[in-house]
């Protein structure tokens, strides 16, 4: 019987991996240039971490978590997002490290969402969290870093939106005004937004329902209510983005779906992706570290969806560079296999990309395979003839003496041709 993958999941086949690898290499280089250190956390955590961390009124906690009981009846949840686990790891093991603690990760996330192009039940994110600094320069650094990853990958059609959703000083006044406004327009809202008026009124701003969007257009915005400190923080962030030439739009409706955000929120979207066009997003979460039992330190971070980014690259026609094989070893004489196997091992150890036949094809078939793999050279070993090194382009050939030094001679040829 043939099995298929579970709904909303996918295999990443080698061709797609090449694009993923390009994304990861680019992201990793950017993180290293900016002194972020890599961290990994478990694939599953105690359910309570996400309920407290991401927030009970978020869609993730309300309806998207993969929660199960293990054999000892512990409630565990497959990681739906990376921030709460990283903060937990900081609280458990990095509290004494000098601040800021700058961490990055690449890991699968699991959300029970309705699958469609760009939205999966298992998706990968690379992300970063800077813990310890209240300075808008930290927010700007993360935004600039993610922007540089998109740029380095050659993605052009990228749009950045930023907003500030205030803090515990100014949010209550806005909330009061927003709840009063929404209660008055209750009949025009979708069922979910009606339910959320009291629990999470901000979410009306990113509801996809057209009538809710219409209501949201005239709702009191958070920016009108920002306190002096939040206002200053936001203006400084915008000035830093301007100084670095990072184009952005202020979007009063950008509230994001996780409950932990304070002040800055941001999101990058890319053209050519349809409705799931957010390729990365994040923001500040100044209360989360203390909320998860750590010291009262501020933090900011982002997550970037790798599948969506791969789709965006595909739509933009960005192709990873083709892989290059240095040498293909054609073995059509079993008596020479051990010498040639030893040669293959030596050359690989010296850093060359080598492939050798294991399919017992004819020399012609092996040469065909060599050109399929994009080999620059082929080494041909046929019964009763000398070893020949052939340049696949131009077909020039050199006789190679089958001695203990042949690896040196072959390497020299490969380097000089």
Residues that bind ligand HAM (CB under 6 A): 81-83, 111, 113, 119-120, 123, 125, 127, 129, 258, 278-283, 285, 301-305, 307-308
Q: How far apart are CA 63 and CA 160, in angstroms?
A: 28
Distances (CA, A) of 273 to 22, 266, 270, 311: 19, 18, 7, 7
Which ranges constitute the DSSP H helices of 275-331? 288-291, 306-315
Nearer of residues 80 and 201 to ligand HAM, judged by Cβ: 80
Nearer of residues 166 and 281 to ligand HAM, judged by Cβ: 281
CB of 19 to ligand HAM, least distance (A): 15
Q: Which two tokens stand for residue 134?
A: 């209240």
E strands, 299-362, are: 299-305, 325-332, 354-356
CB of 49 to ligand HAM, least distance (A): 13
CB of 143 to ligand HAM, least distance (A): 12
CB of 353 to ligand HAM, least distance (A): 33
Between strands 249-250 and 158-164, the pairing is: parallel
Nearer of residues 113 and 152 to ligand HAM, judged by Cβ: 113
Nearer of residues 168 and 184 to ligand HAM, judged by Cβ: 168
Long-range contacts of 72-78 (CB under 8 A, 24+ apart): 74/46, 75/46, 75/47, 75/48, 76/44, 76/45, 76/46, 76/47, 77/44, 77/45, 77/46, 77/47, 77/49, 77/50, 78/43, 78/44, 78/110
Angle 206-211-215 from CA coordinates, rounded to 5°: 70
> Is the CB of residue 305 less than 8 Å from the CB of residue 123?
yes
Q: Which two tokens stand for residue 385?
A: 């003839």
Nearer of residues 251 and 326 to ligand HAM, judged by Cβ: 251
Between strands 387-391 and 397-400, the pairing is: antiparallel
CB of 277 to ligand HAM, least distance (A): 9
Nearer of residues 307 and 326 to ligand HAM, judged by Cβ: 307
E strands, 171-294, are: 249-250, 262-270, 278-284
Nearer of residues 285 and 328 to ligand HAM, judged by Cβ: 285
Angle 409-414-416 from CA coordinates, rounded to 5°: 95
Cβ-proximal residue to ligand HAM, closest one: 305
CB of 225 to ligand HAM, least distance (A): 22
CB of 81 to ligand HAM, least distance (A): 4
Q: How far apart are CA 212 and CA 188, in angstroms?
A: 7
Nearer of residues 83 and 344 to ligand HAM, judged by Cβ: 83
| Residue 100: cis peptide before it, omega within 30 degrees of 0 | yes
Q: How far apart are CA 248 and CA 255, in angstroms?
A: 16
Non-local CB neighbours of 191 within 8 Å, separated by 6+ positions: none
Nearer of residues 258 and 332 to ligand HAM, judged by Cβ: 258
CB of 344 to ligand HAM, least distance (A): 40
Nearer of residues 87 and 222 to ligand HAM, judged by Cβ: 87
- Helix, strand, or coil (residue 52): helix
CB of 80 to ligand HAM, least distance (A): 8
CB of 122 to ligand HAM, least distance (A): 8
């Amino acid at each position: 019987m043939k099995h298929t993958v579970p709904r909303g999941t996918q295999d990443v086949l080698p061709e797609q991996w090449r694009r993923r690898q390009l994304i990861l290499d680019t992201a990793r280089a950017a993180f290293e240039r900016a002194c972020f250190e890599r961290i990994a956390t478990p694939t599953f955590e105690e359910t309570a971490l996400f309920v407290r961390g991401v927030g009970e009124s978020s869609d993730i906690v309300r309806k998207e978590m993969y929660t199960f009981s293990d054999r000892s009846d512990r409630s565990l949840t497959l990681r739906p997002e990376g921030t709460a686990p990283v903060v937990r790891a900081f609280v458990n093991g990095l509290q004494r490290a000098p601040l800021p603690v700058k961490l990055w990760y690449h890991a699968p996330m699991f959300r029970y969402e309705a699958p469609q192009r760009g939205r999966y039940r298992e998706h990968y994110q690379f992300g970063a969290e800077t813990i310890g600094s209240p300075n808008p320069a930290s927010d700007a650094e993360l935004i600039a870093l993610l922007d540089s990853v998109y740029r380095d990958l050659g993605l052009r059609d990228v749009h950045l939106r930023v907003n500030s959703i205030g803090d515990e000083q100014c949010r209550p006044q806005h909330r009061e005004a927003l709840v009063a406004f929404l209660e008055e327009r209750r009949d025009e809202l979708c069922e979910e937004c009606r339910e959320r008026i009291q629990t999470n009124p901000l979410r009306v701003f990113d509801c996809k329902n057209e009538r809710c969007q219409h209501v949201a257009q005239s709702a009191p915005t958070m920016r009108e209510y920002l306190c002096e400190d939040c206002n200053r923080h936001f203006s400084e962030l915008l000035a830093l983005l301007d100084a670095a030439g990072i184009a952005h739009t202020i979007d009063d409706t950008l509230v994001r779906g996780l409950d932990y955000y304070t002040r800055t929120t941001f999101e990058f979207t890319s053209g050519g992706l349809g409705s799931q066009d957010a390729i990365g997003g994040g923001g500040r979460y100044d209360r989360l570290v203390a909320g998860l039992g750590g010291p009262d330190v501020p933090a900011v971070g982002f997550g970037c969806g790798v599948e969506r980014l791969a789709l965006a690259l595909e739509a933009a026609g960005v192709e990873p560079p083709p892989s290059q094989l240095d040498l293909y070893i054609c073995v059509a004489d079993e008596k020479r296999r051990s010498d040639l196997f030893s040669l293959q091992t030596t050359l690989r150890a010296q850093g060359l990309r080598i492939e050798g036949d294991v399919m017992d094809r004819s020399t012609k078939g092996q040469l065909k395979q060599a050109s399929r793999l994009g080999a620059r050279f082929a080494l041909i070993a046929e019964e009763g003839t000398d070893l020949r090194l052939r340049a696949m382009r131009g077909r020039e050939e050199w006789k190679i003496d089958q001695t203990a030094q042949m690896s040196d001679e072959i390497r020299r040829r490969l380097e000089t041709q």
